[in-house]
């Protein structure tokens, strides 16, 4: 039954200040009991999301996929993976979400597809020099027998970025480029047919009521066609893929044209009830001014704030990062975004509880080396400290102007599952790294909804989730936290309700207060003050009525605590 769209959807500027909830479909809610989350499971839980107080849902890939990379290996861009449901289930989900006033964004994966995509299979069968091969990045190998890859590039998942194929006549043949796993061949965006194919994909979903797309690796589609080698990374023995090493497959000039083409398609829906459709780019570029070029007029709407995602837990770094983010976005008239977790990184409750919590920032940007998840995963975790900081980090994020992203389970204070046994790991990084990097499964463990033992209401009793849930998760379930004053979930609910109801939190302004160097304090709309104590000593609670606090406050605000006050 189609649901009547909620009147909330009349706001076509929603994307400038929304709170968006990321659903990783395999791990959210399993309606059919096969151990994997599904679309009916998501539909059943939309009421929970509406009550939580978010404005939109972003669903990670739901397309048919061999699931080599959790759905980021797409075999058909215009259908739903049978393990997740059907196109009818997707239509119902979108309708029901709209009925509750929730926007729906899905994932566009334009850099690569699955090696099972029919067009890639046709390219393999058609042989070198064929029009079919032009859709992908095929090259002859180097050396007299072509047995050396065309460049020294290393894949982001480990090993070479090139895979040699066996030609239809049975001989070893050309190589194709894959930025990620070999099962994820890169599209050749130098071919106009690839651009046309994605135009159709956008329209297919926009016509079905999807409000926007998160664009996977939005800075990678164009290649420097001269294919230069990159600086050798001694740790891998391959050419570096690190952006700071100037690699020829990131942020090349052709990327802008692709974004502008998509923007025109999204804008062509301006007269529809849902309004123009929107994009958020997954692209980490430094410095932030460069990142902001992605959201300049006529290009994309928003872009994920990876500086925020990786920023260490310190007043100085957070303040520099926030100031720089806001200035760079104000310059191009785009809203900033804020994000502390997603399906690729260590959950904030665990990361903020480590001896090193992220990257340091000063007034000129990031200081020192850009370290990634695996470097942090190896450090010991103090979960209680991390949870306290994650609560404060949530209040800080939700007090900032712009768009905030919540990764599923963040509102429950779930930690990273750091002790998954090797035999259950599914992230391709585990295999490709020769079992040296555990990868991202620890933040993808299925959510606990209710009950005292696995599957904790993720699926019906007796079902076995695709990744094992810890025995300690009963107290973190939605049911266990609902209505419990001070629980992580109730803190999020209250913060979201206040953010919606309080006009002071709706504008684009932010004014810093002068404070102790270990404290961040700023005002919004001249009426709400957010203060975060990053230091190791309590600080005096300023005057005003406390609206919300991440921990008990009295005459003082304890360490690792955030408070919202009226001014």
373 or 533, CB closer to ligand NOJ? Answer: 373
Write down the catalytic residue from 30, 73, 216, 312.
Answer: 216
Report 100-119 residues binding ligand NOJ (CB under 6 A): 109
Among residues 217, 390, 478, 547, the one that binds ligand NOJ under rule CB under 6 A: 217
Helix (H) or strand (E) segment spanning residue 280: strand 278-281
Q: Please tell me the distance from the alpha carbon of residue 29 to that of residue 47, in angstroms, as a whole number.
A: 13
Distances (CA, A) of 533 to 55, 313, 525: 29, 11, 21
Catalytic residue flag (residue 282): yes
Residues 6 or more apart whose CB falls under 8 angstroms from that of 155 comprise: 161, 178, 179, 180, 181, 182, 238, 241, 432
Q: Please tell me the distance from the alpha carbon of residue 266 to that of residue 118, in angstroms, as a whole number.
A: 27
Report 268-297 residues binding ligand NOJ (CB under 6 A): 282
255 or 565, CB closer to ligand NOJ? Answer: 255
User: Closest-CB residue for ligand NOJ?
Assistant: 72
Among residues 24, 180, 189, 361, the one that binds ligand NOJ under rule CB under 6 A: 180
Site string for ligand NOJ, 55-84 (x = CB under 6 A): --------------x--x------------
97 or 283, CB closer to ligand NOJ? Answer: 283
Write down the catalytic residue from 38, 69, 115, 282.
Answer: 282
Site string for ligand NOJ, 403-442 (x = CB under 6 A): ----------------------------------------
Contact 520, 318 (CB under 8 A): yes
Report 235-254 residues binding ligand NOJ (CB under 6 A): none
CB of 280 to ligand NOJ, least distance (A): 12
Q: Where are the alpha helices (DSSP H) in 30-181?
A: 39-44, 46-52, 87-99, 118-126
295 or 345, CB closer to ligand NOJ? Answer: 345
109 or 557, CB closer to ligand NOJ? Answer: 109
Give the binding-site size for ligand NOJ (rule: CB under 6 A).
Answer: 9
46 or 215, CB closer to ligand NOJ? Answer: 215
CB of 282 to ligand NOJ, least distance (A): 6
Which DSSP state fits 562? E
CB of 335 to ligand NOJ, least distance (A): 21
Helix (H) or strand (E) segment spanning residue 213: strand 212-215
CB of 512 to ligand NOJ, least distance (A): 33
Q: Please tell me the distance from the alpha carbon of residue 154 to that of residue 151, in angstroms, as a whole number.
A: 9
Among residues 38, 55, 115, 216, the one that binds ligand NOJ under rule CB under 6 A: 216
Report 480-539 residues binding ligand NOJ (CB under 6 A): none
Q: Please tell me the distance from the alpha carbon of residue 49 to that of residue 558, in angstroms, as a whole number.
A: 31
Q: Please tell me the distance from the alpha carbon of residue 519 to that of residue 356, in angstroms, as a whole number.
A: 19
Catalytic residue flag (residue 224): no
Q: If we measure between CA atoms, which residue out of 277, 375, 264, 356 comes closest to residue 317?
A: 356
Q: Angle at the Cα of 364 (from 361 to 365), degrees rounded to 5?
A: 40
CB of 466 to ligand NOJ, least distance (A): 16
Decide: residue 16, CB within 10 A, 0-12 exposed, 13-18 middle, 19+ buried: middle
Q: Which residues are catalytic?
A: 216, 282
The residue ranges that bind ligand NOJ (CB under 6 A) are 69, 72, 109, 180, 216-217, 282, 343-344
């Amino acid at each position: 039954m189609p649901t009547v769209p909620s009147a909330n959807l009349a706001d076509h500027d929603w994307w400038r200040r929304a709170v968006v909830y990321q659903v990783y479909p395999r791990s959210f809610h399993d309606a059919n009991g096969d151990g994997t989350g599904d679309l009916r499971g998501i539909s059943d839980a939309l009421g929970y999301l509406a009550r939580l107080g978010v404005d939109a849902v972003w669903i990670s890939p739901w397309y048919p996929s061999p699931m080599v990379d959790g759905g980021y290996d797409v075999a058909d861009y215009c259908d739903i993976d049978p393990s997740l449901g059907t196109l009818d289930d997707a239509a119902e989900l979108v309708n029901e979400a709209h009925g509750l006033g929730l926007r729906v964004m899905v994932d566009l994966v334009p850099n690569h597809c699955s090696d099972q995509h029919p067009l890639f299979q046709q390219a393999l069968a058609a042989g070198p020099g064929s029009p079919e091969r032009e859709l992908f990045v095929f090259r002859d190998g180097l050396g007299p027998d072509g047995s050396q890859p065309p460049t020294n590039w290393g894949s982001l998942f480990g090993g070479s970025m090139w895979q040699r194929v066996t030609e239809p006549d049975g001989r070893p043949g050309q190589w194709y480029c894959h930025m990620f796993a070999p099962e994820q061949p890169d599209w050749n965006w130098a071919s106009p047919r690839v651009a046309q194919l994605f135009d159709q994909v956008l329209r297919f979903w926009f016509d079905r009521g999807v409000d926007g797309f998160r664009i996977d690796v939005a800075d990678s589609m164009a290649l420097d066609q001269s294919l230069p080698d990159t600086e050798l990374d001694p740790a891998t023995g391959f050419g570096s893929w690190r952006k700071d090493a100037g690699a020829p497959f990131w942020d090349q000039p052709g990327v802008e044209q692709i974004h502008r083409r998509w923007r025109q398609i999204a804008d062509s829906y301006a007269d529809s009830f849902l309004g123009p459709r929107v994009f958020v780019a997954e692209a980490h570029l430094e410095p932030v001014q460069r990142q902001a070029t992605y959201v300049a007029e006529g290009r994309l709407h928003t872009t994920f704030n990876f500086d925020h995602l990786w920023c260490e837990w310190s007043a100085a770094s957070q303040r520099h990062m926030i100031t720089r983010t806001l200035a760079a976005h104000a310059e191009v008239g785009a809203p900033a975004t804020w994000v502390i977790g997603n399906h690729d990184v260590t959950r904030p409750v665990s990361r903020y509880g480590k001896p090193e919590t992220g990257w340091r920032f000063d007034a000129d940007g990031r200081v020192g080396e850009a370290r990634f998840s695996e470097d942090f995963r190896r450090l010991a975790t103090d979960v209680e400290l991390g949870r306290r900081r994650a609560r404060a980090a949530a209040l800080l994020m939700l007090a900032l102007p712009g768009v905030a992203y919540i990764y599923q389970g963040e509102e429950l204070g779930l930690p990273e599952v750091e002790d998954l046994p090797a035999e259950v790991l599914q992230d391709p990084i585990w295999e490709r790294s020769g079992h040296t990097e555990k990868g991202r499964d620890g933040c993808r463990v299925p959510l606990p909804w209710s009950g005292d033992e696995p599957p904790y209401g993720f699926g019906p009793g007796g079902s076995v989730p695709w990744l094992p849930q810890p025995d300690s998760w009963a107290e973190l379930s939605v049911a266990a936290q609902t209505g419990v004053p001070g629980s992580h979930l109730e803190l999020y609910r209250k913060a979201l309700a206040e953010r919606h109801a309080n006009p002071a939190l709706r504008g684009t302004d932010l004014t810093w207060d002068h404070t102790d160097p270990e404290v961040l304090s700023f005002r919004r709309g001249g009426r709400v003050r957010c203060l975060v104590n990053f230091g190791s000593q309590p600080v005096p609670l300023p005057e005003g009525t406390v609206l919300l606090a991440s921990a008990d406050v009295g005459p003082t605000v304890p360490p690792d605590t955030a408070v919202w006050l009226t001014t």
